[in-house]
Structures are given as C-alpha cells and as structure tokens.
Chains A and B, each alone.
Chain A
Amino acid sequence: MNSLKRLSGFIWIALGVAAVFMMARQAGTEISAAITANKAVLDTKMFWYIIIPIFSPIMAGLCLFGWYAWKGEYDVIARDSEHLV
C-alpha cells in the first residue's frame, strides 16, 4: 500500500503541472478568439484573470502534496495530533 501511495505521488505532481499548463493554453486560445471575433472580450478576460491566479497556487499545493507522498510522508498518518506540531 505504501508503495502505491508513493508511486501515485508522481501522478499528483504531473496532474498539478498539467492543469496549470492546460489552463494557460485554454486562456490564450479563448482570449485571442474573443479579440478576433470582438465578442465578450471583457467577460473572457475576466474569467481567466480570476481563474488562473486562484487555481495556480492550489495546483502548486497539489504538486507539493504529490512530492510529500512520493517521499513517503503519508506512509503513516499521525494518530495523535500533538505530534503534528
């Protein structure tokens, strides 16, 4: 089980990186399409200007989670919360 936990850590890192990359690519495509068509430019920009800064740090958190998993930090979950600090 612990090997599976560690190995899948790599998946979470890849997922975090892929999500940011896909968001940036989609934002570029949609904003340029809106500008070309001169349609809903403000709405499109607003959507992505909000989505990307909000989700990018969260995806960085997912990568960090994956890193910790990969390093075996979740092999044993502390049962006593006193040992967390």
Chain B
Amino acid sequence: MTSTSASEPMESRGLMKVITASSVGTLIEWYDFYIYGAMSVIIAKQFFPQDNPTAAFLAALATFAAGFVVRPFGALVFGRIGDVIGRKYTFLLTLLLMGGSTFAIGLIPGYASIGIWAPVLILLLRFVQGLALGGEYGGAATYVAEHSPVGRRGYFTAYIQTTATLGFFLSLGVILTTRKTVGVEAFNDWGWRIPFIVSIFLIAVSVYIRLKMAESPLFAKIKKEGKVSANPLKESFANKRNLKMVLLALFAAVMGQGVVWYTGQFYAQTFIERTMSVEFEQVRYLLCFSILAATPFFLVFGAWSDKIGRKTIMLAGMLLAIVTYRPIYKMMYSYSDVKAKTEIAENGSRGVAVAVAANGDSTITTTSVAVYTDGSTLKTVKKEVKLADASKPAAKPETTKTLWLSSAGFWMIAFLVFIQILYVTMVYGPIAAFLVELFPTRIRYTSMSLPYHIGNGIFGGLTPFIATRLFDASKTSENPGGDPYVGLWYPIIIAGVCFVIGLLYLPNKNDEDVND
C-alpha cells in the first residue's frame, strides 16, 4: 500500500514542534501523577489518619484504585473520545483534568480541619488523575506517530517514551529542591503542597503550546472522508479480528514491558529504601543520576527498532531482565548487609534518652551509630515504651534503621539502577511505535490505550506492592529478616510468560504504513 499525502513526512522543524508540544504535556502529566506517589507518606499523615479505619480504607483505595484500576477506564473513555472527536482536543482535555486535580490536591485542607471530607476529596481527585493519565498517553503517542515519516516512527515516538522517566525525574527534583529550601519540618507540615501547586503553571504553558497545534493529519483525513468510527469501543473489543490483536499486544509485549519498567524505576527505589534502609535523600539522588544517564537510550533503542524491528529489542530487554535481576539485586543488597562489613568500633556511638509522659509512661530511645571500614554508616534508633500501668500489654519496640552509603557504594548502586533503567529503555522505547502500527487509524486511540494501561497500570503498577508483600510474607520466626529477593519472582515470572508469548506469536517486521 502506498502512503498518501497525509503520511508524507513533515519538515523536521514542524515535526520537532509536534514532538515538543506532545512531550511537554505528557511529561507534566507524569510529573503530576508521580508527585502523589512520592509524597504518599506525608499525604497519608495529613489526610488519612491511621486511627480512623474509614480514612485508612480510603488511603489504600486512593493509592491503588486510582493508580491502577482507573487508568484502563480512562483509556476507554478518552480513547473513544479521541477516535470520535479527534486527538488534539482529547489530550487537551486530559491535560486540563490532570493539572486541575493536581492543583486542587495542593489546596485541600487536612483531616484536622475538615474531617472525613479531606480523604474523600483526595480520593475523588486521585480518580480524576488516574482517568486523565489513562487518556493522555495513547493520544500523545498516536499524535506523534501519525505525524512521523515511514521508517523513523520508532525514533520519533521514543521522545514520548522519555516523558514518563523524565516526569519522574522532575518530580524527584522538585521535591528535593522544595525540601531543601523550606526545611524538612516545614516540608512535612505545608511545604509538600508546593510541588502540587506549581503544577498549574506547568499545565498553563503546556495548554498554550497544545492549543496552537493542528489535528493529526491521518485523523483529519479520515474525518474529511467520513470514515471516523461511530463506535470505537465496539469496533475495538467486540470485533474478533481486532480483539485478538488487543490481546496479543497485552500478553506478548505490554505485560512484560510493564513489569520491567516498574521494577527498574520503582521497585528498585522501594528495595533500596525499605529493604536496604538507605537514607531518603541518597536514594533520590542516586535515582536522579541513573535516570539522567539512561534516558537518552530511549531514543537509541527507538531508532534502532526502526532498523532491526521492535520485537527483537523489546524481547532482548525482557530476557536480560529475567536473567540478571537476581544477581543485580544481590549485588545491591551486599552494600547494606552489615554482617559482611567490618565495624570500626572507636568511630561508633551509642546514646540513651528517656522521656516520661504526664501519665507516667516512659519512652526509652536508644540511638546507636556504627561506622564501617567501607565508609558506610548505619544509624539505628530503637524506641521502647514502658507503661506506668504494668498490667497493660506493652507495645512492641520500634526500630528504625538508616544507612548512609559510602561514595563507592553510592555510585555502584547508581550504576546497577542505571542497568535496570537501560532494560526499561529497551522494552519501553519501541512500544509506542509497536502499538500504533498494530491498529488502524479509526480505532487506534482506543485499541492501543487499553492494553497499554492494563500492562503498565496493573501488571507494572502493582509490581512494588506485590514484590514488597512477598518479601514481608517471607519473614518467619526462623528467618525474621525474610528473603530480600523473593519479590523479584513476580516480575521475573510475568516477564518470562510474556517473553515466551512474544517469541512465539509476534512478527518482527514493522508495519511501514499506519495510514489506514
């Protein structure tokens, strides 16, 4: 089939404008989505008091439902609008919804001021965020792909693929800068609102840019010819010939891509922070370095997929992840394993503080600092409450560990995270072009958005949660420390199944013509 004028390559200046306009908006949407997750602990304290079971229920719902369940629904709602009304107005709408809800989260009074309305409002706004994100990505990827010249679609859509990682980077940067500027105490009290409020300015700029854009040439063409789908949902999912491609996209590519992405970028963070107990700022700094170093590879693998095929690169990324995750995590963990370290006894310290409350209960806080020959430092704080009324059951002592890595340890872990993000760039770089090429223009937005958000939102998004839960479940009375690597079985198994399905069923040839 020959390309028509609608698919003629744009001038590179015009194409870069399209990419910039699409990418900036998508990046800001990811930023908005991630800052909630990055500050979920502070938000939980402000809005979801743990002594109120309803509020605690809403907290869990806000974290999971909005992030994972609502995204595929957003894909259906906005995918349909995008295939009926057009790409441009749909992803303008998702941008406004995301920005508006993020800004509003920054303004909502806490539980102490308005009671149960606070968590209810947060939950509603988080739902809107999830819906908007579900609609955004498909629009941006489709829009860029439909402007891209034949043979370079992988490269140009890879710019959209960088936005998820850069949005995460931006959220880390804004949070760290705000925390440094206002101080930790003020940040936990009110400063956390700043990254949410800042979003409105970013959104305003992005809306201004997007308003100046024209509709996708392919969509404009089918609209002019009267070929726009009347019911994209029915055509996408009630038509066997298309439904089987939706299932193929999900189980042969996106499912594995989702777990590799969320393991490299998010479970790595959870593992370093929770399992290895590395200090808050060190974790964020090493992530920032790894992300910055790995991001250009989205473009490298996107461009390479134009030459050797999407399947080869995506499946290679999955296979590397499956084979090397356990050695990588073992190596990372070795930097926090104090049993294998030699302590410099004379450099350590230990202190005990006792505070007595008005009711006679006393809190004994024991702080010990251990310095090791490799340059790392471990601070252990143990809080024990002795009740004045000895007949009451005593609470379990609370122990908090914080590890400061040595310079060599810091850079080695940053490198190991970089490797994991490199796998992300392999599986995620070509995925937009792969999905766009799988579906026809009239139902492309709807058809590609659903598998994308099930694969990434559900299979991928649940990775840190399921992996951490597996780790917690491995703690027994015989092994109270648990198996730190057991959580990796979830991404390894999911990526393994996806790899086999992809190897068997996916063609490696790229569809050169998306003008249908």
Give A contacts to B, CB under 8 Å: 1, 4-5, 8, 12, 15, 42-43, 46-47, 50-51, 54-55, 58, 61-62, 64-65, 68-69, 73-74, 77-85
Q: Please report the C-alpha to C-alpha distance between residue A82 and residue B235 in the assembled complex, in whole angstroms.
A: 12
Are B241 and A83 touching (Cβ within 8 A)? yes
B500 to chain A, nearest CB (A): 8
Tell me if B402 is interfacial: C-beta within 8 Å of chain A. no
Are B244 and A73 touching (Cβ within 8 A)? yes
Q: Please report the C-alpha to C-alpha distance between residue A62 and residue B248 in the assembled complex, in whole angstroms.
A: 9
Q: Please report the C-alpha to C-alpha distance between residue A17 and residue B509 in the assembled complex, in whole angstroms.
A: 32
Binds A, one of B52-60, B113-121, B185-193, B271-279: B52-60
A81 and B248 in contact, given A54-B68, A58-B458 (Cβ under 8 angstroms):
no
A sample of 6 more A-B contacts (CB under 8 A), given A1-B504, A83-B241, A84-B440, is A8-B500, A54-B458, A65-B247, A73-B244, A79-B511, A81-B440
B382 to chain A, nearest CB (A): 22
Are A80 and B247 touching (Cβ within 8 A)? no
Tell me if B245 is interfacial: C-beta within 8 Å of chain A. yes
Q: Please report the C-alpha to C-alpha distance between residue A55 and residue B239 in the assembled complex, in whole angstroms.
A: 23
Are A85 and B248 touching (Cβ within 8 A)? no
Are B241 and A85 touching (Cβ within 8 A)? yes
Q: Please report the C-alpha to C-alpha distance between residue A46 and residue B437 in the assembled complex, in whole angstroms.
A: 39
Are A65 and B251 touching (Cβ within 8 A)? yes
**Closest B residue by C-beta to A53:** B69
- B56 cross-chain contacts in A, Cβ below 8 A: 42
- A61 cross-chain contacts in B, Cβ below 8 A: 247, 250-251
Are B440 and A82 touching (Cβ within 8 A)? yes
Are A64 and B239 touching (Cβ within 8 A)? no
- B507 cross-chain contacts in A, Cβ below 8 A: 77, 79
Pick from B57, B64, B239: contact of A85, CB under 8 Å: B239
Tell me if B112 is interfacial: C-beta within 8 Å of chain A. no
- B244 cross-chain contacts in A, Cβ below 8 A: 65, 68, 73-74
Interface size on B, residues (CB 8 A): 43
- B248 cross-chain contacts in A, Cβ below 8 A: 65, 74, 77
Tell me if B41 is interfacial: C-beta within 8 Å of chain A. no
Are B247 and A85 touching (Cβ within 8 A)? no
Give the one of A12, A80, A85 with max B CB within 10 A.
A85
**Closest B residue by C-beta to A68:** B244
- B251 cross-chain contacts in A, Cβ below 8 A: 12, 61-62, 65
Tell me if B242 is interfacial: C-beta within 8 Å of chain A. yes
A-B contact pairs, 21 of them (CB 8 A): A5-B504, A5-B505, A15-B497, A42-B56, A50-B69, A58-B250, A58-B454, A58-B458, A61-B250, A64-B247, A74-B244, A77-B248, A77-B506, A79-B507, A80-B513, A81-B438, A82-B1, A82-B516, A84-B239, A85-B242, A85-B443
**Closest B residue by C-beta to A83:** B241
**Closest A residue by C-beta to B235:** A85
Are A81 and B437 touching (Cβ within 8 A)? yes
**Closest A residue by C-beta to B506:** A77
Tell me if B469 is interfacial: C-beta within 8 Å of chain A. yes
Are A79 and B458 touching (Cβ within 8 A)? no
Are A74 and B516 touching (Cβ within 8 A)? no
Q: Please report the C-alpha to C-alpha distance between residue A8 and residue B502 in the assembled complex, in whole angstroms.
A: 12
A78 and B247 in contact, given A46-B60, A50-B64 (Cβ under 8 angstroms):
no
- A46 cross-chain contacts in B, Cβ below 8 A: 57, 60
Are A81 and B68 touching (Cβ within 8 A)? no
**Complex interface residues of chain B between 446 and 467 (CB less than 8 A to chain A):** 454, 458, 462
Pick from B65, B497, B504, B513: contact of A4, CB under 8 Å: B504
Are B514 and A81 touching (Cβ within 8 A)? yes
B449 to chain A, nearest CB (A): 15
**Complex interface residues of chain B between 487 and 515 (CB less than 8 A to chain A):** 497, 500-501, 504-507, 509, 511, 513-514
Pick from B53, B245, B443, B454: contact of A42, CB under 8 Å: B53
Are B439 and A81 touching (Cβ within 8 A)? yes
Q: Please report the C-alpha to C-alpha distance between residue A73 and residue B244 in the assembled complex, in whole angstroms.
A: 8
Q: Please report the C-alpha to C-alpha distance between residue A84 and residue B247 in the assembled complex, in whole angstroms.
A: 13
Are A69 and B57 touching (Cβ within 8 A)? no
Q: Please report the C-alpha to C-alpha distance between residue A5 and residue B244 in the assembled complex, in whole angstroms.
A: 14
- B516 cross-chain contacts in A, Cβ below 8 A: 80-82
Are A68 and B440 touching (Cβ within 8 A)? no
B259 to chain A, nearest CB (A): 13
**Complex interface residues of chain B between 11 and 64 (CB less than 8 A to chain A):** 53, 56-57, 60, 64
- A85 cross-chain contacts in B, Cβ below 8 A: 235, 239, 241-242, 440, 442-443
Q: Please report the C-alpha to C-alpha distance between residue A69 and residue B516 in the assembled complex, in whole angstroms.
A: 26
A77 and B505 in contact, given A42-B53, A50-B65, A65-B251 (Cβ under 8 angstroms):
yes
Q: Please report the C-alpha to C-alpha distance between residue A65 and residue B497 in the assembled complex, in whole angstroms.
A: 13
Q: Please report the C-alpha to C-alpha distance between residue A31 and residue B345 in the assembled complex, in whole angstroms.
A: 46
Q: Please report the C-alpha to C-alpha distance between residue A81 and residue B236 in the assembled complex, in whole angstroms.
A: 12
Are B1 and A80 touching (Cβ within 8 A)? yes
